[in-house]
Structure 1
């Protein structure tokens, strides 16, 4: 077995990706899975009376080697998917599900954890917390089941692992395989930088001319700028067809049958455990607690969002009429005319802003904010990673290692779309302890040529800050146990640090210091800066409505009995809701990876909005001091939330920071919907 998969020897403890090949994963997985199973069996079969140390603490490290192998593998599978890696995913998924079932449904482990829980009062707070969570997770996984119910639960877990893996691979295939050639005579309206990016995408695929792909960094600006309405329609339909059977892969990549089966199995699992439906089961441990509370929040934002969207649509239709578009105003028209309205009402041209928003400049801003708030410093590391354009930094405070941070920022074929934060290694204090190795992944348009700057849109800059907000949750984590480290918190609390961090991008003092012209070095003009910040809320009706549609459909599909035809239910529900025809869901079900490529956000896509209620209130705590970098408020944020991980329930952490629960008004004001 390649020992580099479990004993990382790169700079600052990073894996040596240059020494790891696809052929190494299967033997490493086999060995470490067997080792983890043996370690868990030893805990379950221990003849000694159950104690915190020989049971719950031992479970924390039982599969450490397996986790190290999988963290490397799944990082590579998401940033550089290949046929070999997809085949390994399909092999690993049911075996990992079987392993999970053995642990979570082992009556011996369940009995030992219950005994520890009965005697947990004398334990330190973090120790009590992991006992509480271990018992909760085992109970919710079905450890108390027996006979046929127990066997069926194991079958469901195994089948779900296969289905969710296939769902993700189908979406990736449609995204990877689609290209729309755009002839030279149909480039009207497209800025030079976008045309160059389209030509680079063509060259990357061995094609001539210029193409649109389904990478967000290309498709969105194309829809915003292309004057050719027919081409906009073709591109938009391809983008929204991913996973539907109408995408690049046709029926071979259709997720429709997978969705129906996933919903049915989730419902069955919830009912076996005594819950009426999956939404009720899933939300029980979250801050929201119940589907009714989630629906109440979403409904309270829906009315002001759709009212604002209707007002904006009337203006956009008027612009379309000026162009002679007399038929229905369509979804592929919205972004194009929204950009025109932006220029007319706010005198903002996104292309005017881009020269000031290079990736390096915005990374400087991200790191500067982290330094001013938390005293963090970032030192580049020369390390062999999975691509030459991936970078790494050593993160220190007062000379002490806090974490290692890795950034993979550019789109490329085989890379999963979107943006995310993950960790190769979590912080904990077991033994000598370890610091986090945290990874931010984005899909920005790469530089036109090597050595040239990479330019970000305003949305891209927000994404950069958002994902780094997640990274701070890992970097500042200071807990005893890996299971409560970093972002291991309630799903509707996890977006608080990321969305809070975005607020600093919009502060004049941050932009004045870092948004500098890539050629002249001049700071962004104050007037342009202010117009850009103001324009950030210009299309809030659209962005909020498309998000709410996805969140509401996610909740609806998981409440009550599972629909026989999920797409029909989706259409029926949107009609009941009165959803605008020109604003489709941000993520339609066939490519809704948040919900169907795993369980994390299933019945939980609302969590972005739930967290936004808190992030708006949290930033207000800084504003109330008169200093957005107030040292005492930053220290309290770190001490009560960012360093604490999941060491206490989310509502307790929030109240420790803010002394009260948040209200919805700062959210509506922040989105420009008040």
Structure 2
């Protein structure tokens, strides 16, 4: 049987998923490694003087086969993995790292890049950016170090690839190993019908004919904590979530080793800490700048969360003798929400059928950018639950293809994310991208979303637009290939449209009657938008501070993980009632790969941009075409071809202000 990875992609860029077998990956990886190394040899062996065309462009184009197999493999190990793929992942992760290191560690290749960098060759702005970013990648891989130090940097990077892969697999295993199975009616007390149905569906999905199953997925644990009257059960499932990564597997030794290796690599490269190393390639640049922003939000947040805790204590005093604990916060918050706003989340969910929300986000994209989404059930998918759309401009020009993978399953890691099976670029004409959005919504019929899940769908779709609308020459600079603290701007600004009244009435239709959400319910939503923001901000910022603590202390790896975390939280005077959104042992953003390490703050950094940027739409009109065109042309289409703050200024006409963020969170 021929290997589908050796065949050219279809014109639409969608891989031939049905033809791919497990054994094809190993063969394709080996061939992909060999082909790219041969291409690198050709670049290095060229006797002609180095130019942008014969060095940078050929380096950019090299490894086409390897990219094809990686685009499929890494997407599926996140969204539809199994034991064989996980085993291969443990082998391939360090091999891919070693392969990249072998390229960026070649002195003769770096010499050619450096020669172009120092030449007077006339280059376009995008070519200059590619040259800058390529040279930076070489330097950050150790190209300017001596042979021994460079080899050590490569070895550390390869080892980190193994450890981070294992960390993520451990979290998935520990999450899948836990299930709260309930059979007694008394144990279900307080749970609305939709939560019970979700638990029943999960039980059936696991082959259990009786009972209800609740898991550590956010879509399962959060409503359970909101409504379950049995306090001991709330404590049980919350404690299981908080101890993820320490039960059937223990991620604590991995954390210590990851942190130690990152610190060693940073020092070899001339940085004081791993945080210094990572921030050197971000907008923020320094830990001082990051902490200044966090502190600016944290101080009013402490006051707000204290008021919220006092209100919950009063609410709980009538029915609970025990002091409030972290597993009580959601439960009494829900009671207080109903008291203050007469807002019933179960009633709200009736207006957020998944398919309607999906159509709503499509409609927003159409009104803003003229995009048309057409379902294509004839195109191949990697899982039966995936739905593929062809995306076109209003004039019919093909933009790309968009895959939605909505539902939670044991083979998919937790959370929500955007990725791509083919990146946008140019090879004479625009290469259309293939984008995928993955979520973890409960698979039920109908699937009804909570408000947070609606925002998640809009958020990830914003990332999707960033990839879809990219219009650059070099794919490594396109779409979401931007500074880490800029990448969340397109996703977070998209969230704002989700709860706008004129948008809500177009897609929030009652699941049974089809009637649009009533104005009275929208008013309750608007009235409650600042409710519990102290909690939401605290759990997020606490995780940001925890991330920075791990990566800005040179000796962090020498400490016991639990003690280090407790000390970091005590240093910011965090409320004992609220844990960080992610505790260290399941903090996949920072320990399952490098990209968000010392960078979990990027969401709040980008929120300064998105809150300020959305004010332009509020001032000019939610669907003002001039404003939408400016955002598309200066942000969505440009990727990483221009300094991100320059892109923002070009869109907004000025630097961003922090006040809109504080106002949006009710912290002014």
TM-score of Structure 1 vs Structure 2, range by shorter chain: over 0.9
Could you say what secondary structure the match of 1:624 adopts? helix
- Cα deviation per residue 1:303-350 (whole Å; 9 max; x = unaligned)? 111211110111111111111x22221110001111111111111110
CA distance in 1, matches of 2:543, 2:20: 39
Unaligned runs of 5+ in 1: none
1:206 aligned partner: 207
Displacement, 1:363?
0.7
Displacement, 1:297?
0.3
What stretches of structure 1 move > 6 A for 4+ residues in a row?
Answer: none
Q: Is the 8 A contact 2:225 2:331 kept in 1?
A: yes
- The alignment status of 1:180 with 2:218, answered yes or no, reads no
1:605 aligned partner: 600
1:527 aligned partner: 520
1:672 aligned partner: 666
Displacement, 1:358?
0.6
Report the TM-score when normalising by structure 1. Answer: 0.97
Aligned counterparts, 1:498-513, within 5 A: 498-513=491-506
Provide closer, same or farther for how the CA distance between residues 445 and 101 of structure 1 changes in structure 2, counting only shifts above 3 A. Answer: same
Unaligned runs of 5+ in 2: none
Aligned counterparts, 1:658-669, within 5 A: 658-669=652-663
- The alignment status of 1:417 with 2:411, answered yes or no, reads no
Report the TM-score when normalising by structure 2. Answer: 0.97
Displacement, 1:9?
5.6
Could you say what secondary structure the match of 2:41 adopts? helix
- Cα deviation per residue 1:243-279 (whole Å; 9 max; x = unaligned)? 1x2x3x1xxx211011111111111111101111111
Alpha-carbon RMSD: 1.3
Aligned counterparts, 1:51-130, within 5 A: 51-119=51-119, 122-130=122-130
Aligned counterparts, 1:460-475, within 5 A: 460-475=453-468
Could you say what secondary structure the match of 2:472 adopts? coil
Displacement, 1:535?
2.0
- Cα deviation per residue 1:589-624 (whole Å; 9 max; x = unaligned)? 110000000011000000000000000011001111
Displacement, 1:45?
2.5
For 1:641, which of 631, 635, 643 is the aligned residue?
635
Provide closer, same or farther for how the CA distance between residues 552 and 120 of structure 1 changes in structure 2, counting only shifts above 3 A. Answer: farther
Q: Is the 8 A contact 2:262 2:274 kept in 1?
A: yes
Provide closer, same or farther for how the CA distance between residues 557 and 15 of structure 1 changes in structure 2, counting only shifts above 3 A. Answer: same
Could you say what secondary structure the match of 2:350 adopts? helix
- Cα deviation per residue 1:377-402 (whole Å; 9 max; x = unaligned)? 00101123122221010000010000
Could you say what secondary structure the match of 2:301 adopts? helix
CA distance in 2, matches of 1:355, 1:617: 32
Q: Is the 8 A contact 2:617 2:624 kept in 1?
A: yes
CA distance in 2, matches of 1:308, 1:2: 62
Q: Is the 8 A contact 1:2 1:20 kept in 2?
A: no
For 1:318, which of 314, 320, 326 is the aligned residue?
314
- The alignment status of 1:387 with 2:389, answered yes or no, reads no
Could you say what secondary structure the match of 2:419 adopts? strand
- Cα deviation per residue 1:459-510 (whole Å; 9 max; x = unaligned)? 0000000000001101110000011010000000000000000000111110
2:22 aligned partner: 22
2:257 aligned partner: 261
Q: Is the 8 A contact 1:305 1:545 kept in 2?
A: yes
- The alignment status of 1:224 with 2:243, answered yes or no, reads no
For 2:348, which of 347, 353, 368 is the aligned residue?
353
Q: Is the 8 A contact 1:426 1:485 kept in 2?
A: yes
Displacement, 1:228?
0.5
Could you say what secondary structure the match of 1:122 adopts? coil
Aligned counterparts, 1:605-624, within 5 A: 605-624=600-619
Q: Is the 8 A contact 2:4 2:19 kept in 1?
A: yes
CA distance in 1, matches of 2:297, 2:165: 33
Which 10-residue stretch deviates more, 333-342 or 203-212? 203-212
Which 10-residue stretch deviates more, 537-546 or 380-389? 380-389
